[in-house]
């Protein structure tokens, strides 16, 4: 019987297979950041172990880093200690590190792909659940805990229990104005936050094949929000074109050998998935979340649902609690929800294409009075590219703040946070209670919806902007 893409990559990394034990899997690339690594390095020190493969390991600073005044000492002493701990550990153990202020610094899941380190058919791990991002290249990439970080540092392997396979096939073409973010939010709403549990999802079908690498990364990034271990997309010409010439992409004969292997990384015709979901792209529309888990979303044209409309009692209670936290009432049209803040950035939507699409909506317009908008590039490289294209000027002319690279307002670990009750349209990946700051309320949206929302002050898509004047018209 044929094998799926995920099974092929898995099989190519089995170091040891014994009946009744988990497979021991080789790890090609280990990404580190400051939050989930200190206890792992401590463990190595205590047991007198070294990092087995410093040439397959790379670290960056992202979660704690401020996005303003990056040339000044970090104000929060606890954050500063954590970053200093990473720096000391990387020196002691010989790990390559891109610190705040370095030209290659940025969100770990933006840095790996842009350096060309994330390649088809590799296994990629990081102590961060959004490691699933790298699956966009046909890599088997998953988030791990700190004990596993220590395990990979010491052995370059992980004992892994077998997974199940799920195909999410997106047929047809995405309608104009519908993005990868809308698609993945709709997929999560469909299969639920636990629907992918135990699975590696392969996204396939015409609509997926047409996506750019950036858009594919957005899709795979949020696989974890569906509960999946990983998300993958088969590598194709789009993937090869993205990788060719990047710093760590193979060259010359190595490139040819690599591409020949990468072309084999497709699910066989006769392979069988454990579960299949089919979605018709033509039925999709801009999608936003109304609740406190990423599965609680709906098309922007709809209204806040009535908890009583949920058949499942667990879902009903969850919806009641979510609406209470979010300060929303059943039946309220989503388009009437007013926001205080708009955040564009994160490992989900902080790449150059995301910034371009937000800038396109904002160009020549001003954001609504009373709304603050943060635009945070995913990496220093993305920032430099945006400046070269003049996007920073578009953002600042519109009244948005143009910041330095980092995780920023995606999570409450650095100075960029919401205040209690503050409502935010965010291009990040989690709308959990307090995720963006204690008491903050998050609506997950695409970069286009974020930009349109900033202009009107209410959840909106670019199609709603006919009445919003451009600066030239004012």
Partner 1 sequence: MEAFTTHAGRAVPLRRSNVDTDQIIPAHWLKKVTRDGFEDGLFESWRRDPEFVLNQEAYRGATVLVAGPDFGTGSSREHAVWALQNYGFKAVISPRFADIFRGNSLKNGLLTVVLPQSTVEALWDLVEREPNTEVTVDLVTRRVTAPGIEADFDLDENARWRLLEGLDDISLTLRHEGDIADFESRRPVYKPRTQAV
Q: Segment 403-462, which members bind partner 1 (CB under 8 A)?
A: 411-413, 430, 432-435, 438
- Spatial CA neighbour of 12 closest among 30, 31, 25: 25
**Which residue in 62, 150, 353, 464 binds partner 1 (CB under 8 A)?**
150
Binding window for partner 1 (CB under 8 A); candidates: 14-22, 65-73, 207-215, 398-406: 14-22
- Spatial CA neighbour of 184 closest among 255, 284, 104: 284
Number of residues that bind partner 1 (CB under 8 A): 87
H helices of 131-272, where?
146-155, 180-191, 206-209, 213-221, 237-243, 252-262
Helix (H) or strand (E) holding 160: strand 157-160
By the rule CB under 8 A, 360 interacts with partner 1: no
192 burial class (0-12, 13-18, 19+ CB within 10 angstroms)? middle
Residue 329: CB minimum distance to partner 1, A: 21
The answer for 407, left when phi > 0, alpha when psi is -120 to 50, beta otherwise, is: alpha
By the rule CB under 8 A, 82 interacts with partner 1: yes
Binding window for partner 1 (CB under 8 A); candidates: 182-190, 192-200, 274-282, 453-461: 192-200
Determine if residue 407 is labeled as part of a ligand binding site.
Answer: yes
Residue 348: CB minimum distance to partner 1, A: 14
Q: Dihedral of the CA atoms 432, 450, 406, 137 (nearest 10)?
A: 90
Is 265 or 391 the residue whose CB approaches partner 1 more closely?
Answer: 265
Is 159 or 172 the residue whose CB approaches partner 1 more closely?
Answer: 159
Query: Taking CB under 8 A as the rule, which mask of x and - marks residues 106-145 in contact with partner 1?
Result: ----------xxxx--x----xxx-x----------xxxx
Determine if residue 410 is labeled as part of a ligand binding site.
Answer: yes
Whether the CA torsion 252, 255, 260, 263 is positive or negative: it is negative
Is 82 or 165 the residue whose CB approaches partner 1 more closely?
Answer: 82
By the rule CB under 8 A, 177 interacts with partner 1: no
Residue 258: CB minimum distance to partner 1, A: 4
By the rule CB under 8 A, 16 interacts with partner 1: yes
What is the β-pairing status of strands 287-289 and 275-280?
unpaired
Is 144 or 386 the residue whose CB approaches partner 1 more closely?
Answer: 144
- Spatial CA neighbour of 409 closest among 350, 345, 339: 345
Distance CA 445, CA 442 (A): 9
By the rule CB under 8 A, 258 interacts with partner 1: yes
Query: Cα–Cα–Cα angle for 381, 208, 444, nearest 5°?
Result: 65
Show contacts with partner 1 in window 223-242 (CB under 8 A): 224, 227, 229
Residue 192: CB minimum distance to partner 1, A: 8
**Which residue in 1, 78, 176, 308 binds partner 1 (CB under 8 A)?**
78
Output the six-digit token pair for 73.
């000492």
Is 64 or 453 the residue whose CB approaches partner 1 more closely?
Answer: 64
């Amino acid at each position: 019987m044929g094998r799926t893409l995920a099974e092929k990559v898995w099989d190519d990394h089995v170091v040891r297979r014994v009946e009744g034990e988990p497979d021991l899997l080789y790890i090609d690339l280990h990404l580190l950041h400051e939050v989930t690594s200190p206890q792992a390095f401590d463990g190595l020190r205590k047991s007198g172990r070294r990092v087995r493969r410093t040439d397959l390991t790379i670290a960056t600073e992202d979660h704690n880093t401020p996005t303003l005044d990056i040339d000044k000492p970090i104000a929060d002493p606890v954050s500063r200690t954590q970053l200093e701990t990473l720096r000391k550990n990387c020196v002691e153990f010989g790990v390559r590190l891109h610190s705040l202020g370095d030209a290659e610094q940025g969100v770990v899941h933006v840095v790996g792909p842009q350096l060309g380190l994330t390649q088809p058919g590799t296994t990629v791990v990081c102590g961060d659940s959004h490691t699933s991002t790298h699956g966009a290249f046909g890599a088997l990439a998953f988030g791990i805990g700190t004990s596993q970080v220590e395990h990979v540092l010491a052995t370059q392997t992980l004992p892994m229990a077998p997974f199940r396979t799920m195909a999410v096939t997106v047929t047809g073409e995405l309608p104009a104005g519908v993005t990868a973010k809308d698609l993945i939010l709709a997929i999560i709403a469909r299969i639920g936050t636990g629907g992918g549990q135990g699975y590696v999802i392969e996204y396939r079908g015409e609509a997926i094949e047409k996506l750019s690498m950036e858009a594919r990364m957005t899709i795979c990034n949020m696989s974890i929000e569906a509960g999946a271990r990983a998300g993958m997309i088969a590598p194709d010409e789009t993937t090869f074109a993205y990788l060719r010439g990047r710093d760590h992409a193979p060259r010359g004969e190595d490139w040819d050998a690599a591409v020949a292997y990468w072309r084999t990384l497709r699910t066989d015709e006769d392979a069988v998935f454990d579960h299949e979901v089919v979605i018709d792209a033509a039925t999709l529309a801009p999608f936003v979340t109304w609740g406190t888990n990423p599965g609680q979303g709906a098309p922007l044209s709809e209204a806040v649902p009535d908890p009583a409309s949920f058949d499942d009692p667990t879902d009903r209670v969850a919806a009641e609690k979510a609406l209470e936290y979010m300060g929303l009432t059943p039946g309220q049209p989503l388009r009437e929800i007013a926001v205080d803040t708009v955040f564009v950035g994160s490992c989900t939507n902080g790449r150059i294409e995301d910034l371009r699409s937000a800038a396109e909506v904002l160009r020549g317009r001003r954001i609504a009075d009373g709304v603050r908008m943060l635009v945070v590039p995913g990496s220093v490289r993305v920032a430099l590219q945006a400046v070269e294209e003049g996007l920073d000027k578009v953002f600042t002319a519109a009244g948005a703040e143009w910041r330095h690279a980092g995780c920023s307002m995606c999570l409450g670990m650095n100075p960029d946070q919401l205040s209690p009750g503050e409502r935010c349209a965010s291009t990040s990946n989690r709308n959990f209670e307090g995720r963006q700051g204690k008491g903050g309320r998050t609506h997950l949206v695409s970069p286009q919806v974020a930009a349109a929302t900033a202009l009107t002050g209410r959840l909106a898509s670019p199609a709603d902007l006919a009445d919003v004047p451009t600066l030239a018209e004012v």
